[in-house]
Structure 1
Amino acid sequence: MKQNLIQFTLWISCFFISQLSQATPVNLNNCSNTEVEHSTACSGAWKPANDQINPTLTVNDLSIFGGEWSFLAKEDTPGGLEGADIGLQVHKATSTSGDWSVNPGALNIFDDILVVLKAGNAFAAYLIENTDINDGYFNYQWTKSGLSHLSLYYRNDDPVNVIAPSSLLLLSLPLILAAAIRSSTSLS
């Protein structure tokens, strides 16, 4: 009986310790949209956190600026690219400042862009609503830790509706039938 109680106590202790290591990130509300060029709003710094992409996107789990984000690209500093080939490059001037760039026109097909700066055990997210840009600078103040990586996410508020060829055929079917009936009656 005593051994079972000890095993149960150890199991409960391990469970609580594992839950503490998976703490829910807290928004410290100490970033500013002026820290990233073109940004209109900032969310964070979120701590302890990482903007991981598996199994789900952290930026959606935290409903940053309403969520609905899709991962676009990430560059670890130094080097190490993930995601779409949009020519993402990050150049650090200091450990907490620098600039980033993408291929011309790579972002203007999206409604919104989210720039995420990860440093130490926290990250901040910056909303960019004017996506007709190719580059920008960053100079964050929410931590003294050096930049680990810069990630880009995108979303489209209004999906583009394109008429599929099969739908076009169905819509034009009455016109084709009317033309066929008219030509058959004129031949008789």
Structure 2
Amino acid sequence: MTNGLRVLAGLLQLVASSAAIGLGGDFTLDRADGGRYALHESHAEAVVLLFGYTSCPDVCPTGLSRIARALRDLGDDASRVDALFVTLDPTRDTPARLREYTRYFHPAIIGLTGDTDRLDRVARLFNVRYAFVGKDTSEHYSMDHTANVYLVDPRGSVSAILPYGLPSVALTDALRAAIAAGRAAPAAGPGHPALDTTRDQGQPSDRSPVH
């Protein structure tokens, strides 16, 4: 089997397994560039979502670079995608810092933040695990966090989970498929009533290395 076929087969498995798990849900967070972002108010046909922090030395820059590459490869269809980066470190990631960070990779990537309780809730919806490393002893602490990229459909449920390290072409292809599916899907009502947005997922997640 060629590398391309392996990627495609793996992606199809990811789509099927993530749909069975039923992750996702509606959420509202603060945009780093001002205002708020509410998933149920989005008109995008696909949403790509990454969790992390701006001081991340490798995992987050790699993930955001792949998202940026996918947006460029999509051309005009990139306007049909909401690309979101949710900080897990709101203390250090001020709106100004978060805005500057996301714009470095691509101007269409939206940085999202909020208070700790709201960020914890959103992380639970997507089964994102994270832990601070050395926060009690240094202001230069790091984090151990889930490194997956999530594709979310117009109703707010996860349609695919792409693990860290998957090439950008796989993300581009997944976004094309998500856009096509979004065009065909019925419009979701306010708040995505079909989804339970309060549950705490207990499934294991892939994490990045401690950094």
Q: Which has the higher helix share?
A: 2
State the TM bucket, normalised to the shorter chain: under 0.3
Q: TM-score, normalised by structure 1?
A: 0.24
Greater radius of gyration (CA): 1
Q: TM-score, normalised by structure 2?
A: 0.22
Q: Which has the higher strand share?
A: 1
**Higher RCO structure, 1 or 2 (CA under 8 Å, sep 6+):** 2
